[in-house]
């Protein structure tokens, strides 16, 4: 019987993957990855590893949770290393408890490799400390999706505290209503961070009374994190990440050779939002479906040719999709 590793990929920036996560990923025979995992991490996989996309779009799951559980059972019962690669930290709103229970029933071995959760990434890459001597002595991580009858003491948790709301954009109006009903100050600072720690990150500031209007005005979408609390006042305009030289640049790397993970990092370290594609008849065809999925969801308006001969074949992202990487 094999072993299943639940690996937290971190939130966005591929360098937020831990050293242990990298080691396990490099040894995996099968990698089952989620939509919020940056797929450039698959460039760390060995040549024989299989990739399985488990999706999880809002209201449209490529694989339903019960199917994922069954898949883990089937793959975990074989003599192989299985990596369940999840965005952020698998133990924080990652449904890892259900998946572990499934494996425990069949006595399949597993390990959990923690990752950098969205609250840490979003706050750090926006210049906001989650705790502060003058503003916050506690941090609460909560999901905006609550069970029927469940209540949250927003007033108590935001008094000298910080609250981080995951997956909260669609529920922003109802959350605002509850905050006001509980007597939370209308002027409590709020920061909303979209696509945290990627070069496409957007950070907006507001107050409780204006947060819904701000979300609508800037057309903020999930994945986003809402930070409530006085620590939000620590953000003074753009911060370190947004000041990097390539921040905001959406760059597509193209080569006929396999693109090294380290090459990708030379761009992300400068703040760019980067994806990399190997094209041509000698390409690694395991990535064809990965590329098709990711490029259908995300647009890159700058193309960097690591092989100059490709400049006449692929002038923009649509050319890559239309020619199917050949």
Residue 217's H or E segment, with its range, is: helix 211-217
CA 123 to each of CA 11, 51, 163: distance values in angstroms, whole numbers, following the listed order: 11, 31, 11
DSSP assignment of 221-260 equals -SSEEEEESGGGGG--SS-TTTTSTTTT-EEEEEESSPPP
- Cross-strand pairs, 53: 33
Question: Do the Cβ atoms of 201 and 128 come closer than 8 Å?
Answer: no
Structure tokens at 187: 């002027």
Which of helix, strand or coil describes residue 44? helix
Look-up: residue for tokens 């690996």? Answer: 7
Q: Which residues, 6+ apart, have CB-to-CB distance to 291 below 8 Å?
A: 277, 320, 325
Alpha-carbon gap, residue 308 to 64, rounded angstroms = 43
Catalytic residues: 34, 56, 167
What CA–CA distance (Å, rounded) separates 170 from 145?
9
Half-sphere exposure of 71 (CA within 13 A, CB side): 17
């Amino acid at each position: 019987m094999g072993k299943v590793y639940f690996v937290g990929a971190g939130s966005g920036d591929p360098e937020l993957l831990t050293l242990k996560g990298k080691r396990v990923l490099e040894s995996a025979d099968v990698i089952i990855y989620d939509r919020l995992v940056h797929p450039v991490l698959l460039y760390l996989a060995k040549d024989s590893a299989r990739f399985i996309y488990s999706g999880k779009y809002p209201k449209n799951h490529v694989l339903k949770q019960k199917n994922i559980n069954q898949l883990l059972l089937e793959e975990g019962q074989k003599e192989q290393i299985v990596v369940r690669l999840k965005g952020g930290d698998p133990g924080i709103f990652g449904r890892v408890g259900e998946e572990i229970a499934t494996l425990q029933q069949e006595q399949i071995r597993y390990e959990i490799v923690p990752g950098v959760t969205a609250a840490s990434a979003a706050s750090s890459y926006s210049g906001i400390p989650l705790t502060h001597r003058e503003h916050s002595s506690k941090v609460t991580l909560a999901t905006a999706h609550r069970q029927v009858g469940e209540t949250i003491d927003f007033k108590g948790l935001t008094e000298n505290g910080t609250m981080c709301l995951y997956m909260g954009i669609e529920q922003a109006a109802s959350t605002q209503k509850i905050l006001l009903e509980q007597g939370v100050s209308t002027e409590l600072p709020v920061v909303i961070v979209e696509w945290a720690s990627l070069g496409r990150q957007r950070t907006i500031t507001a107050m409780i009374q204006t947060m819904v209007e701000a979300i609508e005005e800037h057309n903020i979408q999930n994945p986003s994190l809402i930070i409530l609390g006085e620590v939000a006042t620590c953000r003074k305009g753009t911060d370190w990440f947004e000041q990097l030289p390539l921040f905001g640049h959406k760059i597509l790397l193209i080569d006929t050779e396999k693109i090294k993970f380290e090459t990708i990092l030379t761009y992300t370290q400068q703040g760019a939002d980067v994806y990399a594609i190997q094209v041509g008849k000698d390409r690694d065809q395991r990535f064809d479906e990965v590329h098709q999925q990711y490029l259908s969801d995300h647009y890159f308006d700058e193309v960097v040719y690591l092989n100059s001969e490709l400049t006449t074949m692929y002038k923009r992202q649509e050319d890559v999709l239309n020619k199917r990487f050949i």
